[in-house]
Amino acid sequence: MSTFRNLTLERSSGHFRRLLSVLSVLAIGAMLSAIALAQSTTEGAIGGTVYDAAGAVVPNAAVVVHNNGTNAEQRVTTDSSGYFRVRQLPPANYTVTVTSQGFAPYKAENVIVQVGSLTDVSPRLGVAGSAETVSVTAETPQINTTSADFAPIVDQTQISNLPINGGRWSNFALLTPTVLNNGSGFGLISVRGISTLLNNNTIDGADNNQAFFSEERGRTRAGYSSPKVAVQEFQINTSNYSSEYGRAAGAVINTVTKSGTNSLHGEAYFYDRDNNWGAKNPFTTLTTQTSPGVFSTSVIKPKDWRKMWGFGVGGPIIKDKLFFFFTYDQYRRNFPGLAAIPSPAAFFAAPAATQPAGQTPSQCASASANSQATKNVCTVANNLGATYASALNSYNTALNDLLSELGPVPRTGDQTIFLPKIDWNISERNHASFEVNRMRWTSPQGIQTQSSNALGIASFGSDYVRDTWGIAKLSTFVTNNIANEARYQYGRDFEFQFPQPPTAYEQAHLTKTGTYTNPFGLTPDLFFNFGSAGGSFDIGTQSFLTRPAFPDERRQQVADTVSWTHGNHSFKFGGDYLYTNDLSQNLRFQFGSFTYSNFGNYVSDLVTPSRCTATVSGNTVRVPCYSSYQQAFGPLGFQFNTHDIGVFAQDDWKFNPRLTLNLGLRWDYEVLPSPFSNLVNPAIPQTGRMPDDKNNFAPRLGFAWDVRGTGKQVLRGGYGIFFGRVINSTIYNTLINTGMPAGQASYSFSATTAGAPNFPQVIPPPANDSSVLPGAVGAAPAVQFFDPNFQLPQIHETDLTFQQDFGWDTVVSISYLGSYGRQLPGFVDTNIKPSTQNISYLVNGGPLAGQTITTPLYSNRVNTSFGALTDIFSGINSNYQALAVQLNHRLSHNIQFNANYTWAHAIDYVQNEATFTDTNDLLDPFNLKLEKGNSIYDVPNRFIFSAVLDSPWKADGWKGFLVNGWELAPVFQEQNGLPYSLTTSGNPPNGFPTFSGGAGINGSAGRRSLANFQRNSFRIQNTQVMDLRLSKRFTWHDRYGAEFIGEAFNLFNHFNPTNQNTLGYSTACQLNPGATGTCNVTTNGIAVLNFNNSFGQITNANSNFAYTPRQVQLAVRLTF
């Protein structure tokens, strides 16, 4: 496996080695020439070429750029080619004045600057004596003639007027091509087929990520981390963007907040959304027992209301000098969850009243013709040696008792945000700003946010967030052509979660049974399947709790950039430094976790523990009936630091009036912490090393060609290399999971492992808080480490875009978009010996019925002192290709709309979005080629349409009261459903050897599937969402307004699947004809794969942030 990974790394980097060697020399020069450091821009620019009436350029013309809101001004002169550029302009409305001796003055009013964009002003000056005032459009040009980046902007019109389901403004990024929700639909986005963990989010130029989970600060359970009313606009940089952006292999979302001006302005708002006005979710059900053995399930609509209110106001403190903008926002939600069985009809189905004729309990338990409920009862009878009638009574009693674990769960979410911001015009050449964002989120029972969950009523867990950050920025114009911007940030993202107290059912059956008392006082996690049709269910303390700090992350960032306009060149030099300190307190599986392959085995242990049989060393012995048990030991948590350094050089070269070249080079370096000296395992040398990847040179090459020189037809393209980060939670696992006594160690047991506890007992914690298990046990600790050749995630991106301006403020663009991931992280268990035998399964039912599937069997560890030795390697490749067609109409004649269609195909080798570490991602740990298939982000077709339509009428008097001020804003999204893989359950049946921690069809505990099916070869049905806003605005005295809003989300209540049954086949031992007794493949049976008739069935729909049943929201907004 290591050899394969080494070859993969060599191939992925070899194509560019010569180029990078040359460019590294240029990078060193750029670093030495940089006055300071820089990361991302929060400003735009105004630039252009000044001509005379005959079309000749005008050098040495004086250009004044005036901020209409704050009266701040910047002055430059045109160069010998008549060109000028004024950079570092906050997004706002400007007036541009141009004067030159012998020419009439020129004034362009209402010039809008947007984040990350250049607004072109290229006037033709008249002769002296014919003064002229020119009004230009109040927007940046829709045709981009100056850069190659693919970076759509979501402007204030869209942010303020389009409907958004939930209030998280960054979701507007989904209206742009190549951007998708991930499979869970809980707020994370994938761009260009790249993992959701490899994006970069910035606010006002400062890093807005949480490094531990690689998400937006505050994560996605909270309503949002910063309020929409404070956002001016944001830009979604997806490729070919400037080298000043880094630490992203996906997208850079660059956001700018609002600022105060010389006029007092603002808005106040109140939004009210109530599920009583919406539609039911057909999968939100409640099951009750109507009579002994008879159960009834009905659809319910639980309470769910949310209210959002607040205000944003800005204005002058000292006119022309000091300005403020203050935001207060509160979000409150009451949304009781529902603890529910995922497939109640299957799970609560009545078993046969009597034992099937001619079948022993053992035969009955494996007979494919029997219903799952009947097989479960027979399993109980066979395990306990009981009669079928007695087992049926125990089974029905267990079902009835379990009903107390189902039903509504009180759940609320309460969030407050304060965001004050100060802007200070220190002088004509110096501008400073200071802002603080304080967010607090409290959500009892709110870790799980879906409307229904396959969890017990005390297994949801409570969630809390304390997020505070502050940014200081100083912009200085050193000369008319040299500008500097320095930034500093301090932030803290403190998140923590706790479990709920045990229920009466859990206390009676799991915490205190007979003379046994759980040493933790908390219920172990209990996960069981209901068999092929009924899905799974989980009760007790979730394996990931408790989390007193998860994480407590503090960060400081220093950044600075130097801009220098010299002739036709616009240079930027710089870099940034980001220090992150993470404290994580979470011992996963601390309280123990039992897993049962079917409900019959759980009932068996519930009635009489440890009555299953197994063959150990040739002897038949009694063992627990669970499939596996896992428990972790050691300290609750650890603290560590990371350092991120980025340095760049960028030249936007106006080669001639029609051609601009964008040339850049960036170097990123992530400094990982050194291993803890007392946790380095001498038996595993890899635990003493951390990656030190310093060769991350990223060239960026692009062009923009104004085909005819009219600004109406432009061809743009480029190529770039981009590097992501190693996320801090993965680093954390490699620091602490080393198999040493002072660290954290997780032990996995099968029922036959020496020291495996009897149900429901857990292993008491060691007195010294070490990770060494008390007493002699057979379980071995698992270890995670980085591969010696590990590299940062690397993406190669290439684009080619043609834009055509058709007039009437309408532009069409056609783009080819390509992204090629290299060095992406993967996880493989290297403590597995090559296979020495095969295992064959006879397939019963389904698309492979009657076939025999043979696969290598992995049954031995390389080092029996350890369980899984997970190697984190950077050998995963991905490929994404897309064709995007966009039609944009800027706001004019009372309408603005944007439409885009994207055809795409994304393939990879099991790219994942796992935080921390997986154990083993590969179906076969010695054959990475089996993993090639559709990406989990593969969506072949996606169409988006959004619009803002204002009423065209301008009536007076009472007629105006009725017809003026109406606005309609639809957002429509439709796409192919996400792909999924057929999965398998169960282990090699009795008679085949397995190693500790081994599981799955081939014993390797890797991806649970079949090589007969390509990964992600199945697909859920198409999804479709139509959101609509209708509003009526009343105005008075020209500056005050009141707007009454009605919104509907998923207006047509389209059925959007959010979960489906992916289980295709389950392993089993099937008795030979006429055979009796416990099935064993070496004596009286064969290994089989039984098809799950419920495969592919939808088990939930409209049950996450992206997809909901139809919801209605009412609002009022006051503006001044």
Q: Which of 223, 258, 293 is the last residue of a domain?
A: 258
pLDDT for res 368: 78
Global pTM reads 0.89
Contact 729, 213 (CB under 8 A): yes
Place of tokens 């109530």: 274
Distances, alpha carbon 691 to alpha carbons 197, 673, 872, 877, in Å: 19, 9, 11, 19
Q: Write down how long the chain is.
A: 1120
The DSSP letter of residue 20 is H
Nearest to residue 685, comparing CAs of 779, 825, 785?
785
From the centroid of its chain, how far is CA 918? 17
Residue 407 backbone phi and psi in degrees, to 5: 125, -175
On the CB side of 146, CA atoms within 13 Å amount to: 25
pLDDT for res 769: 66
pLDDT for res 133: 56
Q: For 167, left (φ over 0), alpha (ψ -120 to 50), or beta?
A: left
Q: Are residues 157 and 254 in the same domain?
A: yes
What CA–CA distance (Å, rounded) separates 988 from 132?
85
Which tokens sit at 1119?
A: 């503006």
Distances, alpha carbon 23 to alpha carbons 82, 123, 542, 699, in Å: 32, 38, 50, 7
Element (H, E) at 733: helix 728-736
For the chain, which ranges sit under pLDDT 70? 1-41, 129-141, 531-534, 768-779, 996-997
Please report, for the domain that includes residue 206, its CATH number: 2.170.130.10
What CA–CA distance (Å, rounded) separates 631 from 519?
13
Instruction: Please check whether residue 29 lies inside any domain of the structure.
Output: no
Q: Are residues 181 and 213 in the same domain?
A: yes
Q: Are residues 118 and 215 in the same domain?
A: no
Q: Are residues 54 and 129 in the same domain?
A: yes
Q: Do the strands 783-786 and 869-892 form a parallel or antiparallel pair, or are they unpaired?
A: parallel
Q: For 240, left (φ over 0), alpha (ψ -120 to 50), or beta?
A: left
Distances, alpha carbon 369 to alpha carbons 10, 347, 628, 1029, in Å: 53, 17, 27, 53
Contact 583, 547 (CB under 8 A): no
Instruction: Please check whether residue 608 lies inside any domain of the structure.
Output: no
Place of tokens 């593969």: 938
Contact 443, 418 (CB under 8 A): no
Distances, alpha carbon 150 to alpha carbons 25, 112, 191, 713, 748, in Å: 28, 20, 12, 16, 48
Nearest to residue 11, comparing CAs of 742, 760, 874, 983?
874
Q: Are residues 85 and 124 in the same domain?
A: yes
Q: Are residues 55 and 83 in the same domain?
A: yes
Element (H, E) at 562: strand 549-566
Residue 50 structural domain: 34-135
Element (H, E) at 591: none
Instruction: Please check whether residue 1075 lies inside any domain of the structure.
Output: no
Which tokens sit at 610?
A: 């440890």
> Residues 6 or more apart from 1010 whose CB is under 8 A from it?
848, 853, 982, 984, 1001, 1064, 1065
Which tokens sit at 255?
A: 């956001």
The DSSP letter of residue 194 is B
Q: Which of 200, 224, 258 is the last residue of a domain?
A: 258
Q: What is the pLDDT of residues 875-924, one digit of tens each?
A: 999 999 999 999 999 888 899 999 999 999 999 999 988 899 999 999 99
Q: Are residues 181 and 96 in the same domain?
A: no
Sign of torsion over alpha carbons 270, 276, 282, 287: positive
* Residue 761 identity (one-letter amino acid): Q
Which tokens sit at 531?
A: 């068999």
Q: What is the pLDDT of residues 712-766, one digit of tens each?
A: 999 999 999 999 999 999 999 999 999 998 998 888 888 888 889 999 999 998 8
Instruction: Please check whether residue 341 lies inside any domain of the structure.
Output: no
Q: Do the strands 305-318 and 265-274 form a parallel or antiparallel pair, or are they unpaired?
A: antiparallel
Q: Which of 258, 282, 306 is the last residue of a domain?
A: 258
Q: Are residues 249 and 181 in the same domain?
A: yes
In total, how many domains does the chain have?
Answer: 2
pLDDT for res 1003: 93
pLDDT for res 532: 55
Place of tokens 């389950």: 1066
Rg (CA), the chain: 32
pLDDT for res 390: 96
Instruction: Please check whether residue 223 lies inside any domain of the structure.
Output: yes
What CA–CA distance (Å, rounded) separates 756 from 749?
6
What CA–CA distance (Å, rounded) separates 585 from 635?
8
pLDDT for res 497: 97
DSSP bridge partners of 1023: 975
Burial of 774 (0-12, 13-18, 19+ CB in 10 A): middle
Q: For 617, left (φ over 0), alpha (ψ -120 to 50), or beta?
A: left
Please report, for the domain that includes residue 130, its CATH number: 2.60.40.1120
Q: What is the pLDDT of residues 469-487, one digit of tens each?
A: 999 999 999 998 899 999 9
The angle at the Cα of 1087, spanning 1083 to 1088, to the nearest 5 degrees, equals 145
Q: Are residues 87 and 164 in the same domain?
A: no
What CA–CA distance (Å, rounded) separates 111 from 44?
12
Nearest to residue 345, comparing CAs of 1116, 1105, 1099?
1099
Instruction: Please check whether residue 242 lies inside any domain of the structure.
Output: yes
Instruction: Please check whether residue 76 lies inside any domain of the structure.
Output: yes
Q: Are residues 239 and 165 in the same domain?
A: yes
pLDDT for res 492: 98
* Residue 540 identity (one-letter amino acid): G
Nearest to residue 63, comparing CAs of 45, 84, 42?
84
> Residues 6 or more apart from 1111 whose CB is under 8 A from it?
165, 273, 275, 277, 278, 279, 1048, 1049, 1050
Q: Are residues 107 and 171 in the same domain?
A: no
> Residues 6 or more apart from 902 whose CB is under 8 A from it?
177, 178, 882, 883, 884, 885, 941, 942, 943
Q: Do the strands 525-529 and 536-539 form a parallel or antiparallel pair, or are they unpaired?
A: antiparallel
Contact 974, 1024 (CB under 8 A): yes
* Residue 128 identity (one-letter amino acid): A
Instruction: Please check whether residue 574 lies inside any domain of the structure.
Output: no
From the centroid of its chain, how far is CA 210? 12
Nearest to residue 233, comparing CAs of 254, 209, 264, 215?
254
Q: Are residues 188 and 234 in the same domain?
A: yes
